[in-house]
Structure 1
Amino acid sequence: MTATDDAPLLAEEVHAYYARGAEDGRLRSGADRLEFWRTQDVLRRLLPAAPARVLDVGGGSGVHAEWLVADGHHVRLVDPVALHVEQASKLPGVEAVLGDARELDAADGSADVVLLLGPLYHLTECADRVRALAEARRVVRPGGLVVAATINRFAALHDTVNRGWYLDDPGRRPQVDGASTDGRLLVTGDRPTFTTAYFHQPHQVPDEFEAAGLRTTGQYGVEGTVWLMGAVNDWLDDPERRATVLDVLRRTESEPSLLGASGHLLTAGRRS
């Protein structure tokens, strides 16, 4: 499946959101560095020894592909946004192509690892998410690893309260309340909080893995509760404090009572 400017693979508003180009810098600065470093930390413990064949589906501008290549892995990145593919193609060692998570142009069993660190965010129908996971299962080798990122159900509510938007800007509340109720974040009004997305409950993700033929092996809260603490930027700027924060998050990352408090969740599974 291919994409053109006239027929993007994403919903129009989602494509427009990412075509602005802001995603490339989001994980490289500010509090969002916690998401980047924790995703990297969890993946480094889950991935097989290099060199592994990694298919980075929905890999954006290559923010994770870059360090994966530096770690010695062979990385092929697939993304539905032409700008992202252009950006990722400039990274040494990264092969980047346009594509859809639901219809991958890859041979059966051709990857050791398939990462979906974004596609499930914007597939609002369960059938589409299961289709993307089933494609990941198809292209990963038997016994191979699949890791998917999801946004937690109450992330928008927690984030907008933490930033003061929910309290001070009632116009944002219908979007946030809708996502908290049924998981669907819909773009409404002139001050969207994000773009069209689906926010999971933690227990839903293993069900979707199972429906796609994947065996869930673990779930990991990415930011834990730390992302809601006002001093997070100061902690991340100090290497010693940052190391302590990351250590604390490792200790609590799979605690069932805290999984839903994190902004993002990583779910790992394997093809039997």
Structure 2
Amino acid sequence: MDPSAVRAYYAARSEHERDRLLTAEGLLERVLTTRLLEAHLGTPGRALDLGGGTGPYSVWLAELGWDVSLADLSPELLAIAESSLPAGTVQEVVEIDARDLSRWADDTFDAVLSLGPMYHLTEASDRVRAAHELARVTRPGGLVAVALMPRYVSVRRLLSRPDERWQLADPAFLDRLLDDGVFDNAVPGRFTHAFGVRPAEVAPFFESHGFSTVTLASTHGFLTGVEAGFEALRTEHPGAYGRLLDRLVVTAADPGLLGTAGHLLWVGRRQAPGWTAS
């Protein structure tokens, strides 16, 4: 990963990132993410919102009673958080790289949300370092949630953007995207340096770094691509919206959804030293 390129993207898109979870797509992602997590969070303690940007999930955790540290690679996003979050929402705001969490001691946090950094780590060694750091700063038994991108979503994204899709004409680019999961965008200022996972490889990866798996789910459920219609349903037919949302929650881990999801959410627990996956 080139941190400067990722920082530059978010610096240029800071207001977009501030408002992203207010779009129809973002609202579904947010409500499904919180619904998937709330049953597993347990008693509030100390939480790290890693890659938390402007802090929407920090607010959610604080409202549940957690003491939250907000951390991100982007100083621009953190500046928005510091100027807009209600006083007392977070205990600290930290500019940091997910590959190096040495600011915090071992077993510091009871829960860690990493809803962004991992899918910007295009090098395997960087993903290993980030997973090691997640395990190190999480206490045994603590909950960890990681946002990931399946690799097919980058193809769909490129096809939807006329000034970017030309890159698919390069066989080497397409092979790297689909075989290696690496998306390096040649168009300046656009989303770039992204790694797309194969869903079947996610749980074994995290379990090899000292975690057990709780779930792997789609944060758009079976509604990827029709989020605007779902958001319209919320105001037009609130009862139907609630019933459909309940169905989204219970089916979000359907393996048939994972490869074509917009985003994935892996949820696990840090195991005690010496634990091995079965």
TM-score range with shorter-chain normalisation? 0.7 to 0.9
Counterparts of 1:263 and 1:39, CA distance in 2: 13
How far does the alpha carbon of each residue in 1:191-228 deviate from its partner, in whole angstroms, 9 at most, with x for none? 84x22210111122222212322222221211123022
Q: 1:127 to 1:99 in 2, by over 3 A?
A: same
Counterparts of 1:233 and 1:33, CA distance in 2: 8
Moved more, 15-24 or 243-252: 243-252
Structure 1, gaps ≥5 residues long:
1-8
Question: Which one of the candidate residues 4, 12, 16 is aligned to 1:12?
Answer: 4
Give the secondary structure class of the aligned counterpart of 2:221: coil
Question: Which one of the candidate residues 88, 113, 126 is aligned to 2:81?
Answer: 88
Give the secondary structure class of the aligned counterpart of 2:69: strand
Q: 1:271 to 1:170 in 2, by over 3 A?
A: closer
Structure 1 match to 2:274: none
Structure 2 match to 1:156: 154
TM-score normalized by the length of structure 1? 0.86
Alignment of 1:246-257 (within 5 A): 246-257=245-256
Question: Is contact 2:183-2:195 (8 Å) kept?
Answer: yes
Question: Is contact 1:34-1:227 (8 Å) kept?
Answer: no
> How many matched pairs?
259
Q: Does 1:45 align with 2:39?
A: yes
How far does the alpha carbon of each residue in 1:166-188 deviate from its partner, in whole angstroms, 9 at most, with x for none? 7x974253588442342111111
Structure 2 match to 1:107: 105
Counterparts of 1:191 and 1:14, CA distance in 2: 10
Alignment of 1:221-260 (within 5 A): 221-229=218-226, 231-238=229-236, 239-260=238-259
Alignment of 1:106-255 (within 5 A): 106-161=104-159, 164-165=160-161, 170-171=165-166, 173-174=168-169, 177=174, 178-189=176-187, 192=190, 194-229=191-226, 231-238=229-236, 239-255=238-254
Bigger RCO of structures 1 and 2 (CA < 8 A, at least 6 apart)? 2
Equivalent position amino acid for 1:78 in 2 = A
Counterparts of 1:140 and 1:83, CA distance in 2: 27
Moved more, 96-105 or 81-90: 81-90
Structure 2, gaps ≥5 residues long:
272-278
